[in-house]
Chain A
Amino acid sequence: MITVKSLHHTFSIGKKGHERKVEVLKGINFHIQTGEIVAIVGKSGSGKSTLLQTIAGFMKPDSGSILVNNTEIAGFTEKQSAAFRLDHFGFIFQNFQLLPSQTVFENIELPLKLKGVSRAIREKKVAELLKKVGLTSVADHYPNELSGGQQQRVSIARAMITNPPIILADEPTGSLDSQTEQEILSLIRLLNKNENLTFVIITHDEEVASIADRQFRMTDGVLVGGMLHVI
């Protein structure tokens, strides 16, 4: 499903003319199979989020290869990346990243709109998904009228609406209390089991990582302790 080979990336920090190079990804290699939940854990600044953003195509790596469903995406242009994301990835963010001016329904249907799906099909698909994540009653609400847990459910529904094979989650429970965190983790586990979705979860929380089939640990730009089967 996802194969990453010799992935390198360097950031330039500091004022222009006095820049300092910081290598954040130092030759990352790993492979993720379909239907897996994989957690990448690590401290803040270890490079785990950069790794996710590189896989997502938000930034281009300096070198290396990223194969998703046998497609090399590391050299994609911005336009190609966007089109590929729309078809292959769903995103769950720490801060939910919902559009405040759009209702729950509109937020969830957004990826379908981008794909040019007709209103009738959108309505049907969103209604099904709302039922799945238990948000039918708040379909017309705006994000600021929902609790953190509900907002993250909306975010998960939006990530799944186009039936992407892979969900990339960056600290999915980072903004939630422990009870809500458990609810969201249960939902992720359920969706993985029922829909055979592949989850790549970036987290610094060991409890979140514990739901993963496999855990990778990121330390100073190096993926260590990989291939560890925890369940």
Chain B
Amino acid sequence: MLFKDQLQFVLQHMKKNKLRVTMTVLAAMIGCAFLIVLASIGFGIQQTMENEILNDEAITQIELWGDEILSEKDQEYIEGIDHVNVVLNKADISGMVKSTLEDREGESNASIVDMEAQQQLPSTLSEGRLPKEPNEIVVGYHYAQNLLNEEDIAAIEQKSQKAEQEGTYYDSSEEGYKGELLNKEVTLQFYDENTQEYMEPATFTIVGVLSRPSYEWFVDSKIMFSDSLLGEFPELITYPATTIYVDSIENVMPVLELLKEQNYQVYSQVEQLEELDMFFLIFKIGLIFIGTIAILIASIGIFNTMTMAVTERTREIGVLKAIGASPSLIQRLFLMESTFIGLLGTMLAVIVSYAVSFAANAILPYVVSFALSDEDLSSYEITFSLIPWSLVVIAGGISLAVAILSGLRPARNATKIEVIQALRQEL
């Protein structure tokens, strides 16, 4: 029998039992859609968390810790590793640095950076240049906001109190120094850990301002010094660290593994990403397993429908066999019918799932914000539900396989119908 004729034969029968077939297709659709939507939550949360990590500029960086500054020999070895672009030595200065500009004061974290190496990296400045002299500095994007006078402090206190009464929070973004920072001279005082007091003030020139941080919530008011600062202030206590810049994300792990083999204390966020992948793989398998139960329940419907179809068509099967239809053809015709039900259910399920996923991502941020009486979550990039093609393929495959398996037994039963018994049946 030509495939076209087999298909026509099957469709003709499905049309005849429209209501029953429609209900079975709906059951298959609900089962499959449940599986897809449930698993999509896992994919959604994973993407949200991965984006959080990937958005961080530090994703292609490897942090190297040690108590002392990296030796030249070590530096040469690391720089010689394939895919390592830059080895940046830096050191965090112990204690806060006090800044004074006109009548304003502020406190910042500070670090010393190997400016020669920094120069080789893509610019992280929003304006200006990197320091060349010991008395030149680069400041964070929010440095100016951190410089407050008494009026600002009073205004912040007032606004904070008001916000507290309203149940919100004031981030002090409206206050601070509003003028141009570039080429401004500021007076800085380092904190002396030994005397527990601030050292004598020294004047520095701001030659650059760092770019805005990628996280909205991050307030960057740090100060970056050139490594020549230590010549001027040898008594400063610093905590050295080295950042290794790798050319691309996929080369981070091989470089990391190599450094670990050489007993370097290294860490990268990519490791976190890999751990996250493993966790979500197990999580998603769990969700798919739960979703599959829904499909199995739907399969009972398909089994019933196909069993009914075989029972109703016993005489017809008898006639077909009598005039020469092979048992394999009879089995194929019934399997095609159950497959078709599964296929229709799956296709509808994919459409419904995408609609539910889209609606969930559009509506849920507002619902969650409302429920938590929190700030508006819609500005955050939170994915509640994500349906990648791989999920559609997995869920579709499970749904179709279950539909075929459900139809297998009734189809086999159809082939076992005896012609003589079948032909004896009344219309």
Nearest A residue (CB) for B423: A97
Chain A interface residue count, CB cutoff 8 Å, equals: 29
A125-163 residues with Cβ-Cβ distance < 8 A to B are 158
Evaluate contact between B16 and A82: CB separation under 8 angstroms. Answer: no
Among A36-44, A107-115, A187-195, A221-229, the one that faces the other chain is A107-115
Interface residues on B, range: 20 to 34
Mark interface residues in B395-413 (1 if CB within 8 Å of A CB, else 0). Answer: 0000000000000000000
**Is the pair A97, B5 in contact by a Cβ cutoff of 8 Å?**
no
- Cβ proximity bits B1-30 to A, threshold 8 Å, 1 near / 0 not: 110010001001100100000000000000
Q: Is the CB of A158 within 8 A of B13?
A: no
> B372 near A: Cβ within 8 Å?
no
Count of A-B contacts with CB under 8 A? 67
For B321, list chain A residues within 8 Å (CB).
82
- Of A82, A100, A102, which is in contact with the most chain B CB atoms at under 10 Å from its CB? A82
Q: Which residues from 312 to 371 on chain B have a C-beta closer than 8 Å to any C-beta of chain A?
A: 315-316, 318-329
A158 to B322, CA, bound (A): 12
- Of A79, A86, A110, the residue contacting B327 (CB under 8 A) is A79
B319 contact set on A, CB distance < 8 A = 97-99
A35–B62 alpha-carbon span in the complex (Å): 94
Q: A66 within 8 Å of B by Cβ? A: no
Q: In the complex, which residues of chain B have a beta carbon less than 8 angstroms from the beta carbon of A87? A: 324
> Bound complex: CA of A111 vs CA of B322, how far in Å?
10
Q: With A99-B316, A113-B2, A116-B2 given, is the CB distance from A93 to B423 under 8 Å?
A: yes
Given known pairs A93-B423, A99-B316, A116-B2, the reply for A85 and B12 (CB within 8 Å) is: no
Nearest first, the 6 A-B pairs at minimum CB distance are A86-B324, A85-B324, A58-B419, A82-B326, A113-B5, A97-B319
Please list the residues of chain A having a beta carbon within 8 angstroms of any beta carbon in chain B.
Answer: 53, 56, 58-59, 78-79, 82-83, 85-87, 89, 91, 93, 95, 97-102, 110-111, 113-116, 118, 158
Q: List 18 A-B contacts (CB under 8 A).
A: A53-B420, A58-B420, A59-B420, A79-B327, A79-B328, A82-B327, A85-B323, A86-B323, A87-B324, A89-B324, A95-B423, A101-B16, A110-B320, A111-B324, A114-B323, A114-B325, A115-B1, A158-B323
